[in-house]
């Protein structure tokens, strides 16, 4: 018997506004709206897009032994993970990393938020609240000194992404100047439940509703992730769409979210990273490297397996030469230009915001002085990640094939240029 799909608090809104709905992570979610995935992708780069992400799972951890537990289970060293100076995680800051098992395989990727001295929040992927919670409970020897609560389906979440996201969000917050003051990338303010999850700075909507505002996202563009009680999700969604109407904000589905994250070089858990060794990939920055980048600053679950590895398959980013893409499947392979097998395709999508100009990849966000033609109208380029038996030099041409179609691509160390996620907030308001 099939398990019924779950829904987010915005399900009725999606259906009533003509969204193309599909199953994802155990939820019925919007793939795209009538505007189409291409328009949604482009709008998140030129203006602002609004994404329903309430399918994501949230855990909270409380107690004096929580940091010790996270140091044991999470890949990042929380004592030296913030900024170029490698400062410690402190209240109001968050950090991205992975949870590994003893084999060095990925259980899930996550963002860890420090909310108070002994209070933390984890955001993991859809349907992963239970597995990550179980993993933490299994590794927790300290009982109530590290209390773990899975809030799956009890926290509302949405992401507003794009260069105009801050201007739009300003119109729905009380005291936005205080909220945005010194709000650097991977910092946050507020709480979705101030009575149980502390906040150094109180943040509310204009009507006084508590909200957590995080300067993070999954698109590579400037923006925010917003956490709020489920009862207020639809109101906040409608407020943002109304507040950003003059800027051209639109609702965006999972298709645009996927193409945006791929162009930004971000992995999809259980597709680009998953039940295989977390080694030789573009995301090794989440490991706790020492200054020489030859060892780790701490021991953590999976670290012994990572140290023991040699000659593991590698994951690399690629970009194509036109918008065509290869569907994933058993017949989807990577070869060299002579047809010799090299590996498999993990992600292959089309970033509609970029194209090649005289051989160089240019985005609609690229300044004219940096090579974007004034009349630039990109066709889009396929892009994503491949898993290869041997690491290839950047610029190496490869061929993606499904047995019928053959598409040329090249190995890249980055994909979509001129992304805005890290821009100083004062330049974006």
222 has pLDDT over 90: yes
pTM: 0.97
129-138 helix and 66-73 helix, angle to the nearest 10 degrees: 110
List pLDDT tens digits, range 71-99: 999 999 999 999 999 999 999 999 999 99
CATH of domain 11-54+155-261: 3.30.1360.120
37 has pLDDT over 60: yes
The pLDDT value recorded for residue 311 is 84
Averaged pLDDT, 204-223: 98
> Which residues, in sequence order, are CB contacts of 288 under 8 Å at separation 6+?
75, 76, 77, 80, 81, 296, 297, 298, 300
Bridge partners of 260, per DSSP, are: none
Each domain of the chain, given as residue ranges in start order, spans: 11-54+155-261, 313-416
1 has pLDDT over 70: no
Averaged pLDDT, 228-242: 99
The pLDDT value recorded for residue 339 is 96
List pLDDT tens digits, range 350-404: 999 999 999 999 999 999 999 999 999 999 999 999 999 999 999 999 999 998 8
Quote the percentage of the chain above a pLDDT of 90: 96
List pLDDT tens digits, range 95-139: 999 999 999 999 999 999 999 999 999 999 999 999 999 999 999
Q: For residue 281, how many other CB atoms are within 10 A of its CB? A: 22
Question: 3-state secondary structure string, 21-55?
Answer: EEEECCEEEEEECCCCHHHHHHHHHHCCEEEECCC
Question: 3-state secondary structure string, 180-204?
Answer: HCCCCCCEEEECCCCCCCCCCCCCE
**DSSP code, position 103:** T
The pLDDT value recorded for residue 403 is 87
List pLDDT tens digits, range 250-288: 999 999 999 999 999 999 999 999 999 999 999 999 999
C-alpha 386/C-alpha 407 separation (Å) is 13
Contact of 122 with 112, CB cutoff 8 Å: yes
Q: Does domain 313-416 have CATH number 2.40.30.110?
A: yes
Contact of 150 with 121, CB cutoff 8 Å: no
The pLDDT value recorded for residue 3 is 81
Averaged pLDDT, 147-164: 98
Q: For residue 248, how many other CB atoms are within 10 A of its CB? A: 13
> Which residues, in sequence order, are CB contacts of 220 under 8 Å at separation 6+?
260, 261, 263, 264, 265, 266, 416, 419, 420, 421
Contact of 278 with 100, CB cutoff 8 Å: yes
Averaged pLDDT, 309-316: 91
């Amino acid at each position: 018997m099939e398990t019924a799909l779950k829904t987010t608090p915005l399900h009725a809104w999606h259906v009533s506004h003509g969204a193309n709905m599909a199953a994802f992570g155990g939820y019925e979610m919007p793939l795209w709206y009538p505007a189409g995935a291409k328009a949604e992708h482009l709008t998140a780069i030129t203006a602002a897009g609004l994404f329903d992400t309430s399918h994501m799972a949230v855990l909270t951890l409380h107690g004096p032994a929580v940091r010790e537990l996270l140091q044991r289970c999470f890949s990042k060293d929380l004592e030296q993970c913030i900024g170029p100076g490698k400062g410690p995680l402190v209240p109001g800051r968050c950090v991205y990393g992975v949870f590994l098992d003893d084999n060095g395989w990925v259980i899930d990727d996550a963002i860890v938020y420090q909310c108070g001295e002994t209070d933390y929040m984890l955001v993991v992927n859809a349907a992963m609240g239970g597995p990550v919670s179980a993993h933490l409970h299994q590794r927790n020897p300290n009982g109530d000194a590290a209390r773990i609560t899975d809030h799956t389906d009890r926290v509302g979440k949405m992401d507003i992404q794009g260069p105009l996201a801050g201007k739009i969000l300003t119109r729905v917050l009380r005291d936005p100047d205080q909220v945005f003051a010194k709000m650097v990338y991977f910092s946050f303010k507020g709480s979705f439940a101030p009575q149980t999850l502390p906040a150094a700075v109180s943040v509310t909507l204009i009507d006084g509703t508590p909200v957590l505002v995080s300067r993070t996202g999954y698109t590579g563009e400037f923006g925010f992730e917003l956490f709020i009680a489920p009862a207020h999700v639809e109101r906040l969604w409608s407020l943002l769409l109304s507040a950003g109407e003059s800027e051209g904000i639109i609702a965006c589905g999972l298709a645009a979210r996927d193409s945006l994250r791929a162009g930004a070089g971000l992995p999809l858990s259980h597709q680009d990273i998953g039940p295989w060794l977390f080694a030789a990939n573009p995301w090794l920055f989440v490991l706790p490297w020492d200054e020489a980048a030859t060892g780790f600053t701490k021991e953590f679950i999976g670290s012994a397996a990572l140290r023991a590895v040699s000659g593991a398959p590698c994951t690399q980013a690629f970009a194509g030469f036109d918008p065509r893409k290869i569907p994933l499947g058993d017949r989807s392979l990577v070869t060299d230009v002579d047809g010799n097998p090299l590996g498999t395709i993990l992600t292959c999508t089309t970033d509609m915001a970029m194209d090649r100009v005289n051989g160089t990849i240019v985005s609609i966000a690229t300044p004219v002085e940096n090579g974007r033609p004034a009349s630039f109208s990109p066709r889009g380029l396929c892009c994503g990640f491949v898993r290869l038996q041997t690491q290839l030099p950047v610029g190496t041409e490869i061929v993606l094939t499904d047995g019928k179609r053959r598409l040329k691509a090249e190995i890249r160390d980055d994909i979509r240029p001129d992304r805005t996620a890290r821009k100083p907030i004062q330049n974006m308001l």
